[in-house]
Amino acid sequence: MRTLPIVRLAILFALSSAACTEREEDSRLRKTWGECTRNTECGAGRICRNRKCVDTPPSPSGSALVPPEGMVHVPAGEFLMGSNRGLSLERPQVQSRTQDFFIDLNEVTVEAWQACQQAGHCPEPRCTQNERPSTAPITCVTQDAAAAYCAFTKKRLPTEEEWEKAARGVDARTYPWGEPPPSCERANFAGCTATEGPEPVGTHPTGAGPYGTLDQAGNAWEWTASTRRPWDQESDPRRLQAGHAPPTVSGPPPKARKQTFFIIRGGSYLDPPASLRTSQRLLLAQDFYSRALGFRCVADPR
């Protein structure tokens, strides 16, 4: 019985060493590629934008910022990002900062995507959307296709810092609505509905975030613009995803190849409550798509 504390200490030491190794590897990769993934890597007065550290732009002055229709304003300022109690990708919790930005109130819908398609700027989704309501979030689109839609609407994909700031505000809340655990009234996650797919956007107004965003917990995972450097996956890169097999994958896995992986956020209708935490983050290959993966856009004040 006396050996139990020693075993626990050994496990804790191993976990701590693994976390340190991961942080050291991230630092090495940053030096190798000359790129950033978070504002905290850029130093005072600078932010990470399009994977490069740039000077922080001045905040718009004068009248109060009025968001475009269908968007909400997230004010500039510092916030706590990540979690010291979460999975390895969520650690450590750090002080981060964003500038003023606007973010879509809802996830981009099937109807909005179809308008982009008809204009010739967006491709067909990788799986059929015919059975989905037009107000359901568009899914089965790759990260670059999502970025193309945002550009078509004169917006862009959010950085993961912007996404998390919009979801948790400045009080480091565990879920967009606060600390109470997820319920089917607040979000659409595993076991909440018999529907095979996301619900129409805005179905759960009581799950709104601190600035009014809807469905940042559950319904569909969301692409961001934040990336990790390419690396070689020994197995099929498409399987490094949110726990769900791609809808159309057959045959043996391809040989190892270099991939760029992007951060996804928010959890989906297929996931357990733990995936709905505001600090939860996963990595996906840029060309991955899933029925449980969508996106929303942000815009900079002019």
Tell me if 120 is assigned to some domain.
Answer: yes
CA nearest 182: which of 218, 222, 220?
218
Cβ partners under 8 Å of residue 51, min gap 6: 35, 36, 37, 227
Task: Give the Cα separation of 22 and 29 in Å (integer).
Answer: 11
Tell me if 161 is assigned to some domain.
Answer: yes
Q: Do 144 and 121 contact (CB within 8 A), yes or no?
A: no
Q: In the predicted model, what is the mean pLDDT of residues 44-64?
A: 57
Task: Give the Cα separation of 76 and 24 in Å (integer).
Answer: 30
Range of the domain at 153: 103-299
pLDDT of residue 218: 96
Tell me if 84 is assigned to some domain.
Answer: no
Q: Is the dihedral of CA 37, 42, 46, 52 positive or negative?
A: negative
Q: Which of 1-5, 149-153, 175-179 has the lowest mean pLDDT?
A: 1-5
pLDDT of residue 9: 37
Tell me if 291 is assigned to some domain.
Answer: yes
Tell me if 245 is assigned to some domain.
Answer: yes
Q: Are strands 101-104 and 293-294 parallel, antiparallel or unpaired?
A: unpaired
pLDDT of residue 16: 41
Q: What is the pTM of this model?
A: 0.73
CATH number for the domain harbouring residue 272: 3.90.1580.10
pLDDT of residue 182: 97
Residue scoring higher pLDDT (42 or 141) = 141
Tell me if 2 is assigned to some domain.
Answer: no
Tell me if 126 is assigned to some domain.
Answer: yes
Number of structural domains (the chain) is 1
Q: In this structure, what DSSP letter does residue 55 have?
A: E
pLDDT tens column, 239-290? 333 333 333 333 344 444 566 899 999 999 999 999 999 999 999 999 999 9
Q: In the predicted model, what is the mean pLDDT of residues 10-37?
A: 44
Q: In the predicted model, what is the mean pLDDT of residues 198-224?
A: 97
Q: In the predicted model, what is the mean pLDDT of residues 138-147?
A: 96
Tell me if 37 is assigned to some domain.
Answer: no
pLDDT of residue 153: 97
Q: Which of 13-22, 60-69, 127-136 has the lowest mean pLDDT?
A: 13-22
